[in-house]
Amino acid sequence: QQPVQSPQAVILREGEDAVINCSSSKALYSVHWYRQKHGEAPVFLMILLKGGEQKGHEKISASFNEKKQQSSLYLTASQLSYSGTYFCGTEEGSNYKLTFGKGTLLTVNP
């Protein structure tokens, strides 16, 4: 079952902030975040694990609420290079599947 992402799309000006949300109805072991540029493969940003461990890029921040099975990705002081589609992926505690949401299209304008 795909996790649910919101919003579907967001438009920013350079320097503005954005939050992308991800939620699941299943008990999660981890939440992954990836960014995809048009015509390219998704690229890893961050993983948040049950229990509080985080792995990923220093300039990206995210949170994982284990009680609510929700995660948020925080993009601060956005740059033009942040433009792309952001996907959250979830791993359930009971199996090894990594399933992704439908994505959030982020556009950063000058």
Partner 1 sequence: NAGVTQTPKFQVLKTGQSMTLQCAQDMNHEYMSWYRQDPGMGLRLIHYSVGAGITDQGEVPNGYNVSRSTTEDFPLRLLSAAPSQTSVYFCASRVTVGAEQYFGPGTRLTVT
Residues that bind partner 1 (CB under 8 A): 1-2, 5, 29-30, 32, 34, 40-44, 47, 49, 55, 87, 89, 91, 95-103
> Is the Cβ of residue 16 or residue 26 nearer to partner 1 in the bound state?
26
> Is the Cβ of residue 13 or residue 105 nearer to partner 1 in the bound state?
105
**Which residues fall within 8 angstroms of residue 95, CB to CB, at 6 or more apart?**
none
In the complex, the smallest distance separating the C-beta of residue 82 from partner 1, rounded to whole angstroms, is 19
Query: Which residue type sits at 22?
Result: C
**What are 84's strand-pairing partners?**
106
> Is the Cβ of residue 8 or residue 110 nearer to partner 1 in the bound state?
8
For strand 104-109 and strand 9-13, is the pairing parallel, antiparallel, or unpaired? parallel
